[in-house]
A and B are shown apart, each in its own frame.
Chain A
């Protein structure tokens, strides 16, 4: 496990020095601040708008960083040829992949934490109270990002960054609509569409299970059991995808 941690810490060091990390973080910060403007312009409770938009910004910003850093994870090591020395050491490929994944997860955790602090600061400025309840939505957002990161790593284990980015983005988008798609297919007469919608629902991750933004912003109750089940489901799913990534990566040549 020490080797996994060594790879993880090195990956973390590397990604926080990556310019793309800062540009995306900047983009996310802008989005959070944009919510203030939107709050002022919109009719209704500006706090709800700020919270809603801020949570959305954390989700989109975190996902984009996960995709950008995840898809280049293996490719960059190969392109820069740093992988040859690493894998010539007595290190299993799963240790390398898991270490990289943990390092990137930590990077994204920092990014999510920075945006959360910003959002909390905004809320305190408006309400003079810390909105701890927002963590009920931010926790699942982070878990969702971990699934997206696992997919990015999986695709990057065998395809180019561009294709990996496209595939991962597609998973992110479809993952939010599998439930709706299945409902839609239920009313349809088309058996092929029904089968496809069912297939997508069972195979692809149901990311809406981790979307608590609206319920948190509107103070709707969220049962702890439901939250716990969503966490278990998401972590199992991420573990499954990572296992698939290891399976592919173990078998490929590092030319």
Chain B
């Protein structure tokens, strides 16, 4: 792990143990993000993206969630070994999170400004109330909201404004890592672009590492340097944005691109990925994308492929690529 690494996740396995069975939500996921870097985590609903985010924050709901293995290094320290008290000092300070739905993520009975001041006071108790408030107003203005709206309540803000407030809360203590869990999914398209643009510039300004969870490749192309595609709790392909966009190798990644409408190509119909997402309570021994894959062969059923580095920094988890690598 280099000195420049902000966060590193190693061999993360998380299961949800419910009465209906064990949901294998995250299966052996590893990745790292450098300081100042933005990594996109792309996948369908239920692929385990949010579970990865909550694991890093130590916010997995116990029960039913259970972390079987995994090490999460933030600033050189393994978060999985931290006590709740130690985690409380890290949350909001070193790692913070922007949640998916801004409409419900703010407390409806507390003034917006006080919700920002809370996180500032929490991690810097030496500040006086006035100083913390001053800082909170600065944060509000940084995300493009007039400071005089400090005294207002969340219901007086629009969705996009609320998300800005949440971003202000996340950035208030200048964390080393921001996890943004589909930050714009609940917003309409024009506001999406505004919020994304703002996040991008703030992230750049503060040189914060960011894990951006999304299912929108457009956003990934716009602000990420790195990208990992996740399917059924596994990273099936990862690499730089150039790798993924110009040379997608995993059938699932190709399938995802095939289902995006294109402006410059004249296509009769989009090609959706056939079939349904594999049941996470009943994952096969072999490649979990097998049932939906256009390239599947009998060989695919023989073993579960490993992530193989097909070119420097570009990893793919597919048996065909493995073979190619072995042969070549």
A and B assemble together: no
Interface set of B (CB-CB < 8 Å, partner A): none
Interface set of A (CB-CB < 8 Å, partner B): none
